[in-house]
Amino acid sequence: MSYVGPDFDPPQPRRPHRRALTVAAAALVPGAVLGWVLYEAMGDSGGAGGAGNAAVRPSQTPPTISATNDDKPPGPTPTDDATADSTSAPAASGPLKGKVVVIDPGHNPNNFQHTAEINRKVNIGTNWKECDTTGTSTNDGYTEAKFTLDVAHRLRTLLQKQGATVKFTQDGDRSWGPCVDERAEIGNKAHADAVVSIHADGADTGQRGFHVILPAKVSEGAANTGPIVTPSRDLGERIAGSFVRVTGSAPSNYVGDGTGLVTRKDLGGLNLSTVPKVFIECGNMRDTKDAAQLTSGAWRQKAARGISEGIVSFLRG
């Protein structure tokens, strides 16, 4: 997702919290080293940027999308090496039976047709922000909204095989939204054991890699993240570690100081959550090398597996 709009403003400059970063870095060092080796082998372009401050604003008009096999909309028919279960598919017996996971596919493919609705301001505790945005896209027009739904379907399949009950905040089945406050409410009402919001960034070319966004401690208005800060960090660290291991991707070279972890208090989806929740930016859609991964069905399956294994590790303790 681009750092523009409701949950996408640039992180404000802040002094580094050395102790927290040291702990996070230590948790990720073994996997991150392997990720960097593979990353360099693929020809990393380097060039760290300025923490997403030059992000590209998403277009308000529908992009042209090529009709390759990887670009087929996710649905009940198999795509690549994943099978997308229907929303009503029952959870199987398994180690996660009884656990509820809410998957939040960032944005909605139809948001661009409803600018008035998604520009409406909602209260996120710390301030007011737009309901939602259109999201970003690759330079070739593969949209973030399409990416997030595809990965969400793959992730659901993997989690249901482990016995989890999986719910979506949206499945391309509504004309726009939901707003960021409603997305948080869906996880809260489901009493989810874990919530993951899936995104892809829209930063400058040369800015590469993934990062997991954790909730900061916030107690303002309707926002009270105190009870979820610690479990959310545990969830985020486990997802980041498994994402490195499974995908071979490196932590972001433009935010997170190489840890793959970023803490923010300006995201309504985190501020208003009462259950453990994180965001994951799977890569930068505006960088050609990251985009080549994000548009690959085989890589998206790895991304889903990396996220899934982190969730399973968190829920099993």
Is 71 contained in some domain? Answer: no
Is 61 contained in some domain? Answer: no
281 catalytic, yes or no? Answer: yes
Is 301 contained in some domain? Answer: yes
Per-residue pLDDT at 198: 98
Query: Quick one: DSSP state of residue 17?
Result: -
Per-residue pLDDT at 197: 98
Instruction: Please tell me the total count of domains within the chain.
Output: 1
Is 150 contained in some domain? Answer: yes
The verdict on whether omega for the bond into residue 178 sits within 30 degrees of 0, i.e. cis, is yes
Q: Of 130, 237, 281, 309, which one is the catalytic site residue?
A: 281
CA dist., res. 201 & res. 35, Å (int)? 19
Q: What is the dihedral of CA 164, 170, 171, 173, to 10 degrees?
A: 140
Q: Which residue has the tokens 């919290």?
A: 17
How distant, in Å, are the alpha carbons of 160, 220, 228 from that of 239? 17, 28, 16
Is 63 contained in some domain? Answer: no
Is 80 contained in some domain? Answer: no
Contact 188, 224 (CB under 8 A): no
- CATH number of the domain within which 285 lies: 3.40.630.40
Per-residue pLDDT at 114: 96
Is 53 contained in some domain? Answer: no
List, run by run, the mean pLDDT of 10-residue segments along the chain (317 residues).
Answer: 38 40 40 41 36 34 35 38 41 88 96 95 96 97 98 98 98 95 98 98 97 98 97 98 98 97 97 98 98 98 98 96
Per-residue pLDDT at 93: 84
Per-residue pLDDT at 62: 39
Is 67 contained in some domain? Answer: no
Can you give the residue range of the structural domain that contains 152?
Answer: 22-45+99-316
